[in-house]
């Protein structure tokens, strides 16, 4: 199966600063991948290389094309959506549809209009007249009307309230995603995307700190909550990370037999957020 994104030794430097440090990556088709990292970790630099917006060292292909050399051809199969604030406030919705239709050959005006018909957004509205929620609905209608093999979302719901964030991701999953499409998402709101992800990539200091599937997370990682008197026994099993909550100790383990942990306390599959904190603070993948 040909990978949608394939990287070997992908590196991006800004002077003496290494933003992306020899990353190896394979993303197959039909996956929803969360690219998660703290500010300055290299997420944006990696995305720019993938989208052909920045030069790079190493090897990188996106749907078999070199993003730097073949960006025009690549963009016929790629849709990139940043946060909703990027839409020009002066433009009318009908003008935005006209521009999108000219720029993207895979855009379907009929499909877009069908989605907009379910909202209060009209063709005569200017972006500045729309609430943040309505802008999100407009953005989503544009996204779902583009027949792209790769959709890249960079903080797509930044600044929106929880109602519209949930609506955005629910519509994306139920109305847009299929096995022919791949979605790459970067966000700080990991709790809201973990239920739709198939794959998880943590990036730290320009390097991949974790690259796994959500199925593997469930099988490999375990969170254990114990009373204080059992804490030393739990520590002897070499957890990745330890924290304390309401007088109880919570440990996160990698590939430790669950039966062994059950004897000490209460076990759970960790959330992506908890796994992220553990990894960023020194846990090894």
Q: Which of 178, 205, 232 is the last residue of a domain?
A: 205
- Tell me, what CATH number does 67's domain have? 3.40.50.300
Say whether both 146 and 246 belong to one domain.
no
Cut 0.85: pTM above it: yes
Say whether both 81 and 194 belong to one domain.
yes
Whether 56 is in a domain gets the answer yes
Distance CA 39, CA 84 (A): 19
Cβ(182)–Cβ(31) below 8 Å: yes
Q: How many domains does the chain have?
A: 2
Distance CA 208, CA 227 (A): 34
Residue 131: both structure tokens together: 């609430």
Q: Which of 153, 179, 205 is the last residue of a domain?
A: 205
Cβ(65)–Cβ(73) below 8 Å: yes
- Residue 192 is part of which domain span? 5-205
Q: Which of 151, 179, 205 is the last residue of a domain?
A: 205
In this structure, what DSSP letter does residue 224 have?
Answer: E
Say whether both 253 and 178 belong to one domain.
no
pLDDT tens across the length of the chain (285 residues): 589 999 999 999 999 999 999 999 999 999 999 999 998 899 999 999 999 999 999 999 999 999 999 998 998 899 887 765 567 889 999 999 999 998 888 899 999 999 899 889 999 999 999 988 888 788 888 888 988 899 998 888 777 778 878 888 888 888 788 888 999 999 877 888 898 999 999 999 999 999 999 999 999 999 999 999 999 999 999 999 999 988 899 999 999 999 999 999 999 999 999 999 999 886 444
């Amino acid at each position: 199966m040909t990978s949608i994104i394939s990287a070997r030794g992908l590196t991006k430097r800004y002077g003496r600063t290494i933003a992306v440090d020899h990353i190896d990556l394979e993303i197959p088709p039909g996956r929803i991948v969360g690219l998660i990292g703290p500010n300055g970790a290299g997420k944006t630099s990696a995305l720019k290389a993938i989208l052909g917006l920045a030069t790079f060292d190493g090897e990188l292909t996106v749907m078999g094309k070199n993003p730097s050399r073949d960006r025009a051809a690549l963009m016929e199969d790629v849709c990139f959506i940043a946060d909703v604030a990027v839409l020009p406030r002066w433009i009318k919705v009908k003008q935005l549809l006209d521009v999108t239709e000219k720029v993207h050959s895979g855009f379907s005006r009929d499909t877009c209009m069908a989605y907009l018909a379910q909202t209060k957004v009209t063709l005569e509205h200017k972006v500045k007249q729309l609430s943040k929620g309505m802008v999100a609905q407009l953005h989503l209608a544009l996204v779902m009307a583009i027949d792209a093999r790769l959709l890249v979302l960079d903080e797509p719901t930044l600044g929106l309230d929880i109602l519209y964030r949930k609506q955005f991701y629910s519509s994306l999953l139920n109305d847009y995603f299929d096995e022919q499409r791949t979605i790459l998402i970067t966000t700080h709101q990991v709790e809201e995307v973990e239920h739709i992800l198939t794959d998880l990539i943590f990036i730290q200091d320009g390097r991949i700190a974790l690259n796994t599937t959500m199925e593997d997370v469930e099988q490999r990682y375990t969170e254990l909550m114990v009373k204080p008197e059992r804490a030393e026994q739990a520590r002897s099993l070499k957890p990745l990370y330890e924290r304390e909550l309401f007088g109880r100790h919570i440990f996160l383990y990698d590939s430790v037999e669950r039966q062994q942990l059950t004897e000490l306390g209460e076990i759970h599959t960790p959330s992506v957020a908890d796994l992220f904190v553990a990894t960023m603070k020194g846990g090894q993948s």
